[in-house]
Amino acid sequence: MKKIAITTGDPAGIGPEIASKTIRFLPTKKDICYVVYGKLNPAIDGNDVIKIDTIESANNCEHIYWIEVDNYDVIQGEASENSGKAAYEILEKVAKDLNDKKLDAVVTCPISKKAIHFTHPEFIGHTEFFAQSSSNPDVIMSFWGQHFNLALLTTHMPVQNVPSFLTREVLEKKFKLIYSEAKRLLGAPKVAMLAINPHAGEDGAFGNEDIIIRELLDDLAKEDILIDGPFPADTFFSRKATDYDLIISAFHDQGLIPFKMLTADEGVNVTLGLPYIRTSVDHGTAFDIAGKDIASETSLESAIKFAESLLNPQQGTEFINYSIFAKHYDKYMQQVNYPRWTKLILDRYSETYKHEPEKILELACGTANIASLLTEQGFQVDASDLAPEMLKIAAKKKYVPNLYYANMLDEIKTGKYELILLLFDSLNYLSSIEEVSTLLTNTHKALQKNGMFIFDITTIKNSIDNFDGFVNLEDSIDQYIIHQSDLDKESNIQTTELTFFTKKGFNFSRADEIHKQTIFSIKKLKEVIKASKLKLVGIYSSDSSTNLLKRRSSVLENDYSRLFMVLTN
């Protein structure tokens, strides 16, 4: 089991907020345990957060653990001596556990150097702190993002000190460290060095620093340390940046200005050369918005994912549908009459059992439009989904059910619910009839004696009529979305490709999602239901209360686009 620490940074800044948001629906792993050090405001739903005193108590990856470090005299949005003391205490605690090898990685939220300077005036920054506390002075600050990766030869150093600091001896040591770390992370990296002076010094016309760098890089090439450059920085990013895996900048702002302009809040700060993994958000404390519940946790999520990938390089990043499409989902579904769907569901239950259900679960709830309506009507509702981004949107609804992260095939607590729902053709995301069988087994166990399971499916008619060969383009000032769908008639797999072009700064970034849905035959669904411990008592279309249970399967598939199946325990 690996352990990743998450530090919440200055308690007066946005660190506690973004950490609380992140861990609420953070997908837990079987082999990674997350431990938060600092201040938190954990939600009442989502992941279980267990407060502990020492790292040894973090022993179950199903939970998020929390070692509280706080100062209750801190005022949100104000850097102070108290906030600095708390931030420094967090770093001391996590550094001890890291150096004692009780942690494998640390992901840091932002601190205020000004606040820490009240009690520790020698403090420079996270990078320097971890370098000193681990007795590894030769570390590299690097940044990893969608468009390019960056390593810095200096950290938080005044520009006027850079040339005298970067002696040939220092440069050689740093180039070797950067190249060895890049080789470890990237395999066979193409690395470029930016010049210190304008136009790379024009062969000494204004500065000899780049001549020294060029001569050193030529010598290092004889040792198979291959770094191109130095390149004039003013033209490099427009002409050559995409040719390289890692770019080296001599000083802080030279590389970070283009990096942050292009990467926005999705970049990750990585300290190279430490005996453990350290990643961080690429933004500051943002005191001006602290406590307003508007801070974005995107960079922290990226930093955690990157730390995970470094711990398990062989394990690819899990792709989750609706991670990008989530923020567009409610707009795409605005034509759905949610109150009508809710009434249809409740009518089916009350017709059968002559009373309303008390405890309801919606699997694959998405943005919880149905679950929130049921919550508004006074029902006790749990709702789960595999996409954290969908759950985050659900959490902002006016009436919020009890939300948690889960796959629709995960086991559910035994005998807990009277009604379980799986709607908006979520069942079609299962890839086989065997997975449907697993779902039925789990729902049977989770239902009370007088329980009901209702799910809907999209049929072959719907797929052929509305999705096969479908292409749509939506555009606005800041975004283009291309939606394409096709049906493979041999496998009955419907594939939907969504391509997003989103404006960030002066450029557009591209992201893609591919959704695959299985168009199950009604005959096979009836067979797998019959083989389960659930009983199929009704089949309904979306626009009628007539029970279609006795209709032939072929008629149901060819005459109806969407069908609701009602099963009892």
Mean pLDDT value of segment 173-200: 93
Sheet holding 493-504, edge to edge: 470-475, 479-488, 493-504, 507-518
The half-sphere exposure of 470 on its side-chain side, counting CA atoms within 13 A, is 18
Residues in the chain, overall count: 569
Mean pLDDT value of segment 183-208: 88
Which is nearest to 384 in space by CA: 357, 359, 402, 411? 402
Which is nearest to 510 in space by CA: 521, 496, 497, 523? 497
What are the tens digits of pLDDT across the range 160-185?
Answer: 999 899 999 999 999 999 999 999 88
Answer yes or no: is pLDDT of 67 > 60: yes
The half-sphere exposure of 399 on its side-chain side, counting CA atoms within 13 A, is 14
Residue 201: pLDDT band (50, 70, 90) is confident
- E strand segments, 111-223: 140-144, 149-152, 191-194
CA angle 262, 267, 268 (to 5 degrees): 155
Model confidence, pTM: 0.84
Answer yes or no: is pLDDT of 319 > 60: no
Cβ of 348: how many Cβ atoms within 10 Å? 20
Q: What does R_g of the chain's alpha carbons equal in angstroms?
A: 28
Instruction: Name the CATH superfamily for 1-135+278-318.
Output: Isopropylmalate Dehydrogenase (3.40.718.10)
Q: Where are the alpha helices (DSSP H) in 13-150?
A: 15-24, 81-99, 113-117, 126-133
pLDDT for 58: 97
Considering Cα of 242, then 245, then 250, then 251, what sign does the dihedral take?
Answer: positive
Which is nearest to 449 in space by CA: 409, 420, 417? 417
Answer yes or no: is pLDDT of 248 > 90: yes
- Token pair for residue 507? 């450029």
Name the one residue in this structure whose structure tokens are 């994912």.
305
pLDDT for 315: 62
One-letter amino acid of 240: K
Instruction: Report, at the CATH architecture level, how domain 326-462+519-568 is classified.
Output: 3-Layer(aba) Sandwich (3.40)
pLDDT for 549: 95
Residue 50: pLDDT band (50, 70, 90) is very high
Cβ of 245: how many Cβ atoms within 10 Å? 15
What span, in angstroms and rounded, lies between the C-alpha atoms of 302 and 140? Answer: 19
Mean pLDDT value of segment 253-277: 87
Mean pLDDT value of segment 409-414: 91
What's the whole-number average pLDDT of the chain? 93
Mean pLDDT value of segment 280-299: 93
pLDDT for 280: 94
What are the tens digits of pLDDT across the range 327-336?
Answer: 899 998 999 9
What are the tens digits of pLDDT across the range 454-497?
Answer: 999 999 999 999 999 999 999 888 889 999 999 999 999 999 99
Mean pLDDT value of segment 57-82: 94
Max CA pair span of the chain: 91
Tell me if the bond preceding 275 is cis, omega within 30° of 0: no
Answer yes or no: is pLDDT of 145 > 90: no
What are the tens digits of pLDDT across the range 538-562?
Answer: 999 988 889 999 999 999 999 999 9
Cβ of 72: how many Cβ atoms within 10 Å? 8
- Kindly list the domain boundaries of the chain, sorted by start residue: 1-135+278-318, 146-265, 326-462+519-568, 467-516
Which CATH number describes the domain made up of 467-516? Answer: 2.20.25.110
What span, in angstroms and rounded, lies between the C-alpha atoms of 329 and 363? Answer: 17
What are the tens digits of pLDDT across the range 348-406?
Answer: 999 999 999 999 999 999 999 999 999 999 999 999 999 999 999 999 999 999 999 99
- Token pair for residue 564? 């609701």
- What CA dihedral angle connects 120, 124, 128 and 133, to 10 degrees? 0
- E strand segments, 395-478: 402-405, 417-422, 447-458, 470-475
pLDDT for 245: 95
Hey, is 281 helix, strand or coil? coil
What are the tens digits of pLDDT across the range 11-23?
Answer: 999 999 999 999 9
One-letter amino acid of 136: N
Which CATH number describes the domain made up of 146-265? Answer: 3.40.718.10
What are the tens digits of pLDDT across the range 18-38?
Answer: 999 999 999 999 899 999 999
What are the tens digits of pLDDT across the range 124-137?
Answer: 999 999 999 999 98
Fold matches, 1-135+278-318 and 146-265? yes
Answer yes or no: is pLDDT of 318 > 70: no
pLDDT for 85: 96
Evaluate whether 374 touches 381 at the Cβ level (below 8 Å).
yes
Answer yes or no: is pLDDT of 233 > 70: yes
pLDDT for 206: 83
